[in-house]
Amino acid sequence: MKHTIQALVENKFGVLARVASLFSARGYNISSLAVGETQDPSMSCMTIVVNAEDERMLQQIKNQLQKLIDVITVIDFTHKKYIDRELILCKIERVEENKNVITKLIKQFPVKVIEETDEYFLLEICADTQQIKEILKEVKKIEIKELVRAGKIAIGK
Amino acid sequence: MNGAKILIESLTKEGVEVIFGYPGGSVIPFFDALYDSPIRFILTRHEQAAAHAADGYARSTGKVGVCLATSGPGATNLVTGIATANMDSVPIVAITGQVKTTLIGNDAFQEADLTGITRSITKHNYLVKDVKDLAYTVKEAFYLANTGRPGPILIDLPVDVQMQDIDFIYPEKVEIRSYHPDMFGHPAQIKKAVKLINESNRPVILAGGGVVISGANKELLEFAEKINVPVAITFMGLGGFPSTNHLSLDMPGMHGTGYANLAITESDLLISVGCRFDDRITGKLEGFAPKAKIIHVDIDPTSISKNIKVDVDLIGDAKNVLGQLNEEIEVSKLLDLSEWHKKIEGWKSKHPLGYKMEESGKTKPQYIVEEIYKQTEGKALIATEVGQNQMWAAQFYKFDYPRNFISSGGLGTMGYGFPAAIGAKIANPEKQVILIAGDGSIQMNIQELATLSTYDIDIKIIILNNHCLGMVRQWQELFYDRRYSGTPLKNPDFVQVAKGYGIKGIKVKKISEVKKAIKEILSYNGPVMADFQIEEEENVFPMVPAGEAINRMIGGMA
Q: How does pLDDT run across B138-197, given as a tens digit for each residue?
A: 999 999 999 999 999 999 999 999 999 999 999 999 999 999 999 999 999 999 999 999
Looking at residue B555, its pLDDT comes to 81
> Residue B154's beta-bridge partner residues?
B94, B125
CATH number of the domain at B518, please: 3.40.50.970
Residues of chain A contacting residue B123, judged by C-beta atoms under 8 Å apart: 69
Contact A56 B115 (CB under 8 A): no
State whether B213 and B260 are in the same domain: yes
Q: Verify that B412 and B373 share a domain, yes or no.
A: yes
pTM to 2 decimal places:
0.96
Least confident span in A133-137, B203-207, B228-232: A133-137
pLDDT tens digit string along B317-342? 999 999 999 999 999 999 999 999 99
With an 8 Å Cβ cutoff, is A102 touching chain B? Answer: no
Query: What length does chain B have?
Result: 558
Maximal CA-CA distance, chain B: 72
Point out the residue among B120, B123, B306 whose CB comes nearest to the CB of A25.
B120
Segments in B14-72 forming alpha helices (H): 28-34, 47-61
Answer yes or no: is B173 within a domain.
no
Together in a domain, B152 and B197: no
Task: Residue A38: give the domain boundaries.
Answer: 2-76
> Quick check: A70 and B178 CB within 8 A?
yes
Domain count for chain B = 3
Question: Residue A22 and residue A64: Cα distance in Å, rounded?
Answer: 8
Chain segment B349-360, per-residue pLDDT in tens:
999 999 988 878
Can you tell me the mean pLDDT for B378-383?
98
The CATH number linked to A10 is 3.30.70.260
**Sheet of B18-21, strands arranged across:** B40-43, B18-21, B65-69, B92-98, B153-158, B124-127
Please answer whether residues B20 and B47 qualify as being in contact, where contact means their C-beta atoms are separated by less than 8 angstroms: no
Residue B72 pairs in a beta bridge with none
Residue B113 distance to chain A (closest CA, Å): 12
Residue B234 lies in a domain: yes
B493 shares its domain with B424:
yes
Within 13 Å of residue A143, how many CA atoms lie on the same side as its CB?
A: 8
> CB distance from A67 to chain B under 8 Å?
yes
Query: In a 10 Å sphere around its CB, with 0-12 CB exposed, 13-18 middle and 19+ buried, how is residue B545 labelled?
Result: middle
User: β-strands B92-98, B203-207: how paired?
Assistant: unpaired
**Is residue B389 in some structural domain?**
yes
Give residue B214's pLDDT band: very low, low, confident or very high (50, 70, 90). Answer: very high
- Report the pLDDT value the prediction gives residue B191, as an integer from 0 to 100: 98
Q: Please report the pLDDT score of residue B556 as a whole number.
A: 61
Q: At what angle do helices B338-350 and B258-266 cross, to 10 degrees?
A: 150
Provide the residue range defining the domain that includes B136.
Answer: 3-163
Residue B198, CA distances (Å) to B193, B250, B313, B520 in order: 9, 24, 17, 52
Shared domain for A22 and A45, answered yes or no, is yes
CATH of the domain at B323: 3.40.50.1220
Cα–chain center distance at B403: 9
- Is the CB of B301 less than 8 angstroms away from the CB of A67? yes
Co-location of B316 and B381 in the same domain: no
* β-bridge pairing A144-149 and B18-21: unpaired
Domain final residue, candidates B163, B198, B221? B163
Residue B360: strand, helix, or coil: coil
* Alpha-carbon separation of residue B371 from B175, B387, B505 (angstroms): 51, 20, 19
| CB-based contact B123 A17, cutoff 8 Å | no
Q: What residues does B505 pair with on adjacent strands?
A: B529
Q: What percent of chain B has pLDDT over 90?
A: 98
Chain A residues within an 8 Å CB radius of B115:
14
pLDDT above 60 (res B265)? yes
Domain boundary among B163, B197, B229: B163
CATH number of the domain residue A100 falls in: 3.30.70.1150
Domain count, chain A: 2
Judging contacts by C-beta atoms under 8 Å, the chain A residues touching residue B121 are none
Edge-to-edge order in the sheet of strand B269-273:
B248-250, B231-233, B203-207, B269-273, B293-298, B312-315
For chain B, give percent helix, strand, coil, nearest 5. 40, 15, 40
> For chain A, how far is it from start to end, CA to CA, in angstroms?
22
Q: Is B538 contained in some domain?
A: no
